[in-house]
Structure 1
């Protein structure tokens, strides 16, 4: 059936038009993403060698910061581990720095359970407007085109679920978590919230988070004054005490019934959830839609480094938009 079969009954929403008002600054930020000096600092080279351990066992040659730097370069420039080793070796030669470069097997082994350096927010006292969303990252299985082209037997594809929390004010990813594909969004929410060390005055998410467990958890963690914007389903019912103590969900249901869902999305600010879709599109464009690591702990390290890469690119420059139509 053609997708325009119900066009006469669809909501007609004209597409908005915007223009970027800071092209020069944004272009410079895009250029700096490929600048090696942005990703390699002098402090990292000074702390390249691991400190001597005081407990029994082998002495590591490279610090966690050195391993993190190599893995970050490989992710930014989309290089496998062997090519990452060659890239770092050439950089050390050009800089004239006498350092030993970890080989690909060391990078693979040390990425398992790697502890990343702390990276606090710019302003810990500012309240966060938190947008939470998730997407799937493939770790095994051929694409549909390969199966169709060569008539291969479809294998069971494996996925990991990537959960991200975006601050709508700063555009920074403030929390992240990588889980197996059978972990639902509400189940992974406490692990995300535990990573936030500041106040949150707005929580925005899709309908997968709808329910009392999510609202009760957020109220217990951030207080009852937190604004929770989650779309209720079409068959949503009011709470038992709606007459005496209406919840935010009850108010959302009332407004949807009186004004319609499209008007509620505009008045409540739920339309900002499109920034979560944009964030997932950025991840799959810049980082990729597939995890390269084989073990689960290494995959979590890969996801954490991907978060830092996107945050660093956000710091370099963000576009400012102005609506024209």
Structure 2
């Protein structure tokens, strides 16, 4: 069937045009993303060695901060562990500091269940307005080009599912989790909400989260006044109490039936969920669409470091837009 067969019945949405209003500051922020002084400070070098343990067992040579810094540099510059060791060794030589650099096997072993630094408190004191989305990250498998061009036999592909919670107010990733591909989005939601420290007054997700368990969980965590925006499916049926005590889902079903789904999306602000999808695209562009670690625990550490990297880069400078058309 031609792709434009139903073109006459589709909604025609004109493309919006925007202009960056703080181009000078944003341009400088983009330059600073490549500045090594952003990642290595005098405080980090002072805390390079691990404190001596008072219990029985071997003495660690490197602190968790040192391992985290090496893994962060490897993630930013997309280097395997051996090349990360060489990169850190050359940086130490250029800085003229006499520090021992962990080898690749130490980075791999210590990356399993690594305790990262506590997340700094958000600079925004307003309640969180969170958008949650998920995407798949590859682990191994033949590339699409190899399969298509050379007719290579498709192997069993394996991927992990990355869940991110983006605050629409601050533009910061406030919660994240890496799960196996069989874990559904609603199943991972309680673990994400446990990472949110302050109050939340708005929650936007796609239709995969539709259902009473999600609304009950949000009401129990953040109160009944939280604004939950979840699109109901096309065959959704109102609840039995919709006539005298309608829920937010009942009101959404009634509005969609009366005005159409596009009108509901515009009036409810559901279109802002696209910022979560944009964040996923930013992840795959900056961090990459594939995980480099091989074990699941190391992959979870890699994902947590990736969240810190994106938040740090966004803090250096974010664009401000104004609509022109």
**Which TM-score applies when normalising by structure 2?**
0.98
Q: Mapping of 1:182-261 within 5 angstroms?
A: 182-261=182-261
| Further displaced range: 144-153 or 126-135 | 144-153
Question: What's 1:156 paired with?
Answer: 156
SS at match of 1:263: helix
Q: Which residue of 2 aligns with 1:129?
A: 129
CA shift digits 1:236-275 (9 cap, x unpaired): 1111111221101111111111111111111100000110
- Cα shift at 1:108: 1.1
Alpha-carbon distance in 2 for matches of 1:41, 1:149 = 47
Q: Matched residues in 2 for 1:55 and 1:160: separation?
A: 37
Report if aligned partners of 1:164, 1:177 keep a CA contact under 8 Å in 2.
Answer: yes
Task: Give deviations 1:183-203, integer Å, cap 9, x for gaps.
Answer: 000000000000111100000
Name the SS of the counterpart of 1:198 in structure 2.
coil
Q: What's the secondary structure of 1:131's corresponding residue? A: strand
Using the size of structure 1 for normalisation, the TM-score is 0.98
What's the offset of the Cα at 1:96? 1.2
Q: Which residue pairs with 1:50 in the alignment?
A: 50
Report which stretch shifted further, 176-185 or 236-245: 236-245
Per the alignment, residue 68 of structure 2 pairs with 68
1:296 paired residue number: 296
Report the CA distance between 1:124 and its aligned residue: 7.0
Q: Post-superposition shift, 1:150?
A: 2.5
For residues 154 and 123 of structure 2, the distance between their equivalents in structure 1, rounded to whole angstroms, comes to 49
- How far is 1:118 from its partner? 0.1
Helix, strand or coil for the counterpart of 1:174? strand
How far residue 54 of structure 1 moved from its aligned partner, in angstroms, is 1.3
Aligned length in residues: 325
Determine if contact 1:238/1:250 at 8 Å carries over to the other structure: yes
* DSSP 3-state at the match of 2:284: helix
Runs of 4+ in 1 over 3 A off after TM superposition: none
Gapped regions of structure 2 (runs ≥ 5): none
What is the CA-CA distance between 1:149 and the residue it aligns to? 2.3
Once the two structures are overlaid, the 10-residue window that deviates more, 295-304 or 73-82, is: 73-82
Q: Residue 102 in 1 paired to residue 102 in 2?
A: yes
Q: Aligned with 2:266: secondary structure?
A: helix
C-alpha distance in structure 1 between counterparts of 2:131 and 2:227, whole Å = 12
Q: Distance in 1 between matches of 2:109 and 2:80?
A: 14
Partner of 2:120: 120
**Aligned 8 A contact 1:124 1:198 in 2:** no
**1:143 offset after TM fit, Å?**
1.6
How much is the aligned-residue C-alpha RMSD, in angstroms?
Answer: 1.0
C-alpha deviations, 1:27-53, integer Å up to 9, x for none?
A: 000000000001111111000000011
**Secondary structure at 1:252's aligned position in 2?**
helix
The answer as to 2:30 corresponding to 1:3 is no
Structure 2 partner of 1:146: 146
Gaps of 5+ in 1: none
